[in-house]
């Protein structure tokens, strides 16, 4: 079943036409990788799914994106609620200058989802889901900046999970991490894909192959190919996809 149905999506930043007629159906409770060379529109594509491109001056979007059958670009969409439902993890860890506990609880308080002991329970649950609880359970009041880079990224994932999203967008979440921290995040992504609809932007072909169920290849603002990851890597249908996978360009 398609959780997200993208139809003829176009995005401009002033006069620059970044995404061109993208149509794509993203499956529920699976990991979808969006790969392609730098500057091809990968990040713009996922930011369209929670309407974050709108915060950039001069941006313009046409087309439709349906989540559970609802067009998120309709006039009556509550963008605040959309961004709770569609969580985002950025390229570099971006914890708030607060304690570990307060980072995870932040969204709960902003969205008025829970209070008191409920918050403590959700903080613990979210840290466990982000595979971080055992490492921080005795230091929840320490600054988030006391954590390593990989731990900070898992903290940001816990913060996104705390508000109970249905979709998690990840924009090259391992690009600033060492191999050991990357392996932990990749294992976590695979686990999260069993419960959430996860979309990960990556320019790392090996990472796309390791973590995703489906892969979309984007080149110069266009969707070139989309399908099951194994099929796309082993027998690509488009010559451009094959050249990218074999390293002829990138």
Model pLDDT for residues 45-89, shown as the tens digit of each residue: 999 999 999 999 999 999 999 999 999 999 999 998 999 999 999
> Considering only CA atoms, which of 26, 27, 31 is closest in space to residue 193?
31
Q: Tokens 């670009």 appear where? A: 73
Q: Could you give the CA distance from residue 52 to residue 224 in angstroms, rounded to a whole number?
A: 24
Model pLDDT for residues 127-180, shown as the tens digit of each residue: 999 999 999 999 999 999 999 999 999 999 999 999 999 999 999 999 989 999
Output 209 or 110, whichever has higher pLDDT: 209
pTM: 0.94
Say which residues have a Cβ less than 8 Å from residue 207's Cβ, sequence separation at least 6.
33, 174, 182, 186, 200
């Amino acid at each position: 079943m398609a959780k997200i149905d993208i139809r003829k999506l176009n995005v401009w930043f002033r006069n620059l036409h970044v995404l061109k007629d993208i149509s794509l159906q993203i499956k529920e409770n699976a990991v979808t990788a969006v790969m392609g060379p730098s500057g091809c529109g990968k990040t713009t594509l996922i930011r369209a799914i929670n309407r974050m491109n709108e915060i950039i001056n001069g941006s313009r979007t046409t087309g439709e994106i349906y989540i559970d059958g609802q067009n998120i670009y309709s006039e009556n969409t509550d963008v605040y609620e959309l961004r709770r439902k569609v969580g985002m993890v950025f390229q570099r860890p971006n914890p708030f200058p607060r304690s570990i506990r307060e980072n995870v609880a932040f969204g709960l308080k902003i969205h008025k989802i829970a209070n008191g002991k409920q918050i403590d329970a959700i903080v613990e649950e979210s840290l466990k889901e982000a595979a971080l609880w055992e490492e921080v359970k005795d230091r929840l009041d320490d600054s988030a900046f006391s954590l390593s880079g990989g731990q900070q990224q898992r903290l940001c994932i816990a913060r996104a999970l705390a508000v109970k999203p249905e979709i998690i967008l990840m924009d090259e979440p391992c690009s600033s991490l060492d191999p050991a921290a990357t392996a932990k995040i990749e294992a976590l992504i695979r686990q999260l894909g069993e419960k959430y609809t996860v979309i990960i932007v990556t320019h790392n072909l090996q990472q796309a192959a390791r973590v995703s169920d489906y892969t979309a290849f984007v080149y110069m603002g266009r969707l070139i190919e989309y399908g099951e990851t194994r099929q796309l890597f082993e027998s690509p249908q488009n010559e451009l996809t094959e050249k990218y996978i074999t390293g002829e360009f990138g």
